[in-house]
Amino acid sequence: MLNQRDLTRPAVARNGRIAPVLVPLMAALLLAATPALAQSTDGAQALRAPSPLKIDGDLGDWAFAKDSAITLDSQAQLTPGADSPDTWSGPADLSATIYVAYDDTNLYLAYDVRDDKVVQQFSGDQIYNGDGPELYLDFTPDGQAAAYDNNVWQFGFTPGTDAAAPAWVLYQQVQGRSIDPSAVKVAAQRTANGYTMEVAIALSALGQTLQPGHVIHFDVAVNDVDNTSATATENQIILSRAADGWQNPSVFVPLTIR
């Protein structure tokens, strides 16, 4: 994927390749005309956590959210990095089950990632070039933003190589925007098939509250490399199936607050 270091490049460029950036017209019309239908096929749900979730990388306390899991496990959900989706060898190579929850204080995410090699060779705002999840949020009132502004956010996360060094970054499409480091908590654990990762983001840091019935827009993705000497993401699997969410919030999908 592209991030703020690439903002001067053409919208269709993605790590030197031509990326798919068009949202099918019919999908857009369905979203505008029949939100319930769009949510059933392309959207997701955030369930209220029954109690504050412990951010330790152990997903044992996420049983309440199992029925609202987001599954990323098909080639159709891949977008190309330095390589092509043709290099994806199947769900054991890269796939994920993702859960979203909230309470009065935090937005929570849990990522259960299958990844045969857990590699992170970068740090800071370059972590998208290694293994790790991403989160996109759009709190624009009454609709989706046409571009990044103070209502739209992109976070990157990484478990670190072999889940040994979890970290996060807020990308700077809105130049100069910052967030208190204590407002975001991350933890990861290595598993037999990949890694798990938990995230809590303080709603106060986002300037938001969440209430049942609200619909915001968001996206979730996981980046993958298998080579410790890789210089860029090899593949990304993403809910929206769009490669340009880093600059185009209109590709995000509905997230219904339950």
In this model, does residue 9 exceed pLDDT 50? no
Residues 6+ apart with CB under 8 A from 100: 44, 45, 46, 47, 65, 68, 70, 107, 108, 109, 218, 220, 255
Q: What is the pLDDT of residues 61-85, one digit of tens each?
A: 999 999 999 999 999 999 977 666 7
Enumerate the domain spans of the chain. 4-257
What CA–CA distance (Å, rounded) separates 134 from 219? 8
Does the structure show a pLDDT above 60 at 18?
Answer: no
Question: What integer pLDDT is reported at residue 7 of this predicted model?
Answer: 33
To the nearest 10 degrees (0 to 180), the angle between helices 25-33 and 35-42 is 130
The CATH number assigned to the domain with range 4-257 reads 2.60.40.1190
With beta carbons less than 8 A apart as the criterion, state whether 130 and 158 touch.
yes
pLDDT tens digits for range 215-241: 999 999 999 999 888 888 999 999 999
Q: What is the DSSP letter of 102?
A: E
Burial class (CB in 10 A: 0-12, 13-18, 19+), 228: exposed
| Entry pTM | 0.84
> What's the mean per-residue pLDDT of the chain?
85
Tokens (6 digits) for 12: 């269709």
Q: Are strands 132-138 and 152-158 parallel, antiparallel or unpaired?
A: antiparallel
In sequence order, the β-bridge partners of residue 217 are 138, 254
Identify the three-state secondary structure at position 249: helix
Range with the lowest mean pLDDT among 12-16, 63-67, 244-248? Answer: 12-16
* Measured distance CA(59)–CA(75) in Å, rounded: 26
pLDDT tier, 15 (very low <50, low <70, confident <90, very high otherwise): very low
What pLDDT is recorded for position 25? Answer: 36
